[in-house]
Amino acid sequence: MIEDGTAIGMGLATAVNRIKDSKAKSKVIILLTDGVNNRGEIAPATAADIAKTFGIRVYTIGVGTQGTAPYPVQTPYGIQYQDMPVEIDEGILQEIAQKTGGKYFRATDNDKLTQVYKEIDKLEKSKIDIKQFSRKEEKYLVPAIIAFCLLLFEIAARNTIFKNLT
């Protein structure tokens, strides 16, 4: 079983490890979290330093309502939802974004999250040249030969076998 918790530093370090050797002009990580770093062996600030070393920009997003939100809790009567305070470590998320040249966002609902992704998309536009090649192949030859053969058969049949029927 995976322990419950949030390992922001480990998640960021893993993402950096996955894209550090990319040949892309722009390397970007979007770090989305709904909690406070309370697990993992790597501190978020250390992971941000590693990302900066590899020239990776990190956009951080804190997701969750302001105040409290329903959270499933195991009780003697089964799982019940209780309102728990929403805790997001906005300070560390802002620090990660600032260190790496990214930006911090707060999304309190789905619409706001959609807006955040659209804004990140606008910030990360880069012009690339694309060369497209298309190979065209004519497909009419086989049907044309079949139609021509049927036409010849019809002419031959009309002038031989079916000559007396008309």
pTM metric for this prediction: 0.67
Q: How far apart are CA 12 and CA 47, in angstroms?
A: 6
Q: Write out the chain's pLDDT in tens, 166 residues.
A: 456 778 899 999 999 999 988 888 888 999 998 878 888 888 999 999 999 999 999 999 998 887 887 878 888 988 888 888 878 888 999 999 999 999 999 998 899 999 999 998 888 776 666 778 888 888 888 899 999 999 999 888 888 877 776 5
Query: Do 29 and 60 form a contact (C-beta atoms < 8 A)?
Result: no
Position 136 in a domain: no
- The burial of 67, by beta-carbon neighbours within 10 Å (0-12 exposed, 13-18 middle, 19 or more buried), is given as exposed
Number of domains in the chain: 1
> Angle at which helices 44-53 and 8-19 pack, to 10 degrees?
20
104 assigned to some structural domain: yes
- 116 located within any domain: yes
**Cβ–Cβ < 8 Å for 96, 62:** no
Q: Has residue 157 been placed in a domain?
A: no
Structural domain boundaries enclosing 32: 8-123
